[in-house]
Structure 1
Amino acid sequence: MTEWRAASVADKLAQWRLTPVGPGFSTVSSHLQPVLRDGEPAMLKVARLEEEANGCRLLVWWDGHGAARVLEHDDRAVVLAMGGDSLVPMSVSGDDDRAVRVLCDVAAELHAVSRRRFAERPEGLIPLEEWFRSLFARSETEGFYARAASLARRLVDAPFDPADLVVLHGDLHHDNVLDFGPDLGWLAIDPKFLVGHRVFDYTNILCNPNPSIAESRFDRRVELISERAGITERALLEWTVAWTALSASWFAADGAVEDEHNALRIGVLAERRLSRG
C-alpha cells in the first residue's frame, strides 16, 4: 500500500490553477486557503492528516446532497464551493430552535443519500465500535466514564433496524453547517469517516455551539431533535451519554480540562433525564 503523504498548498494552487485570495489559515488537520476558481470564490482544503483526507472523500461521495459541493479533488485535497455563515450566529442570536431544525434536516439528507447508495459507500469507513475504543478502555474505571463505557458497548453491540445503519457525518454541529445561499441552502462540511447507527449524528448538536446554550436548552433540544429526526428520546439520550464520555476522554488525553468538564456536564444531563424515564 502506498504511504499517504500530505500535499502543499502551493502545489494544489498550481495544479488546479487557483488564485489565492488573502491569507490562508491552518488547523490541526488541514490547511485552508480562500481562492478564486475560474473567477468564482472557493475554498482550497489541503489535508494534513489521512483521516481528514478521508473525510474529504465523503464530501465527494455525497455529491452536493446535504454536503458542500466539491469542485476539484484528489486523495489529499479538495476545492469546495464557498459557503457563508455557519449556524452559530443563528443559535446565539436567539433562534436556536431553527438552528437545531436545520441540523436535523441536514443529517436526514445525508442519511438519505446513504440509504440510496450504501452499497457504493467508500471503502474503509470506521465503524463506531472502533471509534469508541478509547472509551471502552475506561470500562474498568469508576463513575460516569465506566457507566458510559458499559452503555456504549451495549449500543454498539445491539441489533438494530438495517435502515438505521448509515454513513455518518460524525461531527455534525453548528460550526460545520454553512449557508450556501438561497439555491443550495444549508450544507455540511468537515465530516469524519464513520459508519454506524444514525442516532449518533444527532448527539453533538446537544453539545454546541457553547456550554451556556447547550446546558440551558438541553431539555428543549432533546424534545425537538426527537420529533424532527423521528427517533426516541431514550435512544438520543443513551447515545449522548456515550458520545459525551468519548469526547471528554479525548479532551482529558489532551489535557483540556475545561473542555472535558463541559462535555461531562452534558452527559450528566442526559443521564438525569434518562433516570426520569
Structure 2
Amino acid sequence: MEAPPPLFSPYLARWQLAPDGAPIETPTSNLLPVMNAGRPAMLKLLKPSSDEGPGIAALGWFAGAGAVDIIATEGDAVLMERAIGTRSLTRMATSGDDEGAIRIIAGVAAQLHAPRSTPPPNLPNLTRRFRALFEAGESHPVLPRCGAAARGLINNPRETVVLHGDLHHENVLDSPRGWLAIDPKGVSGERAYDVANLFLNPVDVDRLVLDPARALRLATIVSDALGIERARVLGFAFAHAGLSAAWCMEDGINPRLAIEAAEMLEPLAGQANRRKRLQSSPGNC
C-alpha cells in the first residue's frame, strides 16, 4: 500500500493511526480509512470550502445512537467510526425486499430523532434547506407547486428535532453495531422531512421511485414506525422531489427522475391531505 498524502501525516502521528486503504477525495473533504487501536475508523479532513460543519455537529449530537460515532476532532480534522459490514440496503431493495430496507432506515431515523439530555447544536433550518427550490421559479411547472407545499409545511411545523438531512439507502451502512447512518447534512426541522429522500431512492431505480403503490407503502411504513402523520410524510416527499430537481438544475444535471417523481407524488400528497381534513372535520370520528 502506498504511503498516504502528507496532509494526513500530522493526524496519523497525533492519534496513532495506521492507514488501512486508499485515500478518497470529495468536493468537500479528504478521507483516509485507518485503524485506530485495532478498530476500523475513517479520518476526514474538511476542505476550507466545506459545508460539512453542520453535519459534523449533528454526528456529535447523535453520539453514536443510530449513526457512526465521532472518536476525536481537532480543527477541521475528524476521526470517526467506520462501518465495515457487508450487507447493502440498495441491494436489499433492488433484490426484492424494498419494504425491509425501508423499515431498517425508519428504525435508524427513530434512533437519530430520540431525545437527548444535551441541548441540540445550532443548525440550518428547513427554510434555508429549501432555498434552491424557492429560487427556482417556474423552471418547470411542477416546481412552484412543490415550493408552495414546502412553505405550507415549514410554516406550520410539528415536532422539530436534529435531522440527518440526507437519509437514503447508501447513507445507512451495515456495521458490527448494526445499521448506522453516515454523512448527515445536519438540519433542524420536522421529523417527517428526514424520510422524504427515501421516495427518490435507491438512486436511478425508476421501477421503485416512480411506482405510486410503492410510494404509498413507503409512506405507511415510515409514518407507522415513527409515529408521524402520513399526509405530512407525503407532503414533504413531494416538496423534496422538487428540491432535488432544483439542485439538479443548479448543477447542470438532468432533473427528469426528480420531476417525474414530483408529478407522481403530487396527487398522492393531495389525496392524503384531503383525507386528513375530512377526518378532522366536526362530525367525523
TM-score band (shorter)?
0.7 to 0.9
Q: Is 1:179 the equivalent of 2:174?
A: yes
Q: Is 1:191 the equivalent of 2:184?
A: yes
Which whole-Å CA distance do the structure 2 matches of 1:88 and 1:46 have between them?
27
Q: Which moved more, 1:42-51 or 1:145-154?
A: 42-51
Deviation at 1:141, TM superposition (A): 5.8
Which whole-Å CA distance do the structure 2 matches of 1:105 and 1:193 have between them?
18
Q: Which structure carries more helix by proportion?
A: 1
Which whole-Å CA distance do the structure 1 matches of 2:10 and 2:53 have between them?
16
Matched with 1:107 is 109
Matched with 2:277 is none
Matched with 2:146 is 148
Q: Which moved more, 1:219-228 or 1:103-112?
A: 219-228
Which whole-Å CA distance do the structure 2 matches of 1:275 and 1:174 have between them?
26
| SS in structure 2 of the partner of residue 120 of structure 1 | coil
Matched with 1:12 is 11
Q: Is 1:170 the equivalent of 2:165?
A: yes
Matched with 2:33 is 34
- Among 230, 235, 244, which residue is 2:241 paired with? 244
Deviation at 1:146, TM superposition (A): 0.9
Gap regions ≥5 residues in structure 1:
1-6
Q: Tell me, yes or no, if the aligned pair for 1:56 and 1:77 is still in contact at 8 Å.
A: no
Q: Is 1:256 the equivalent of 2:258?
A: no
Task: Note closer, same or farther for the CA distance 1:251–1:105 as it changes in structure 2 (3 Å cut).
Answer: same
| SS in structure 1 of the partner of residue 221 of structure 2 | helix
For residues 195-237 of structure 1, the C-alpha deviation after alignment (integer angstroms, 9 at most, x for no partner) is 0111000101111113323223323222222222222221111
Which whole-Å CA distance do the structure 2 matches of 1:136 and 1:54 have between them?
21
Task: Note closer, same or farther for the CA distance 1:142–1:269 as it changes in structure 2 (3 Å cut).
Answer: closer
Which whole-Å CA distance do the structure 2 matches of 1:185 and 1:27 have between them?
26
The normalised TM-score by structure 1 is: 0.87
Task: Note closer, same or farther for the CA distance 1:62–1:142 as it changes in structure 2 (3 Å cut).
Answer: closer
For residues 15-40 of structure 1, the C-alpha deviation after alignment (integer angstroms, 9 at most, x for no partner) is 32211123111122222211111222
Which whole-Å CA distance do the structure 1 matches of 2:7 and 2:238 have between them?
39
Matched with 2:99 is 97
Q: Tell me, yes or no, if the aligned pair for 1:55 and 1:190 is still in contact at 8 Å.
A: yes
| SS in structure 1 of the partner of residue 34 of structure 2 | strand
The normalised TM-score by structure 2 is: 0.84
Deviation at 1:252, TM superposition (A): 0.5
Matched with 2:3 is none
Q: Which moved more, 1:25-34 or 1:143-152?
A: 25-34
Which whole-Å CA distance do the structure 1 matches of 2:133 and 2:28 have between them?
22
| SS in structure 1 of the partner of residue 256 of structure 2 | helix
Matched with 1:138 is 136
Which whole-Å CA distance do the structure 2 matches of 1:103 and 1:155 have between them?
23
Gap regions ≥5 residues in structure 2:
1-5, 273-285
Aligned residues: percent identity?
Answer: 37
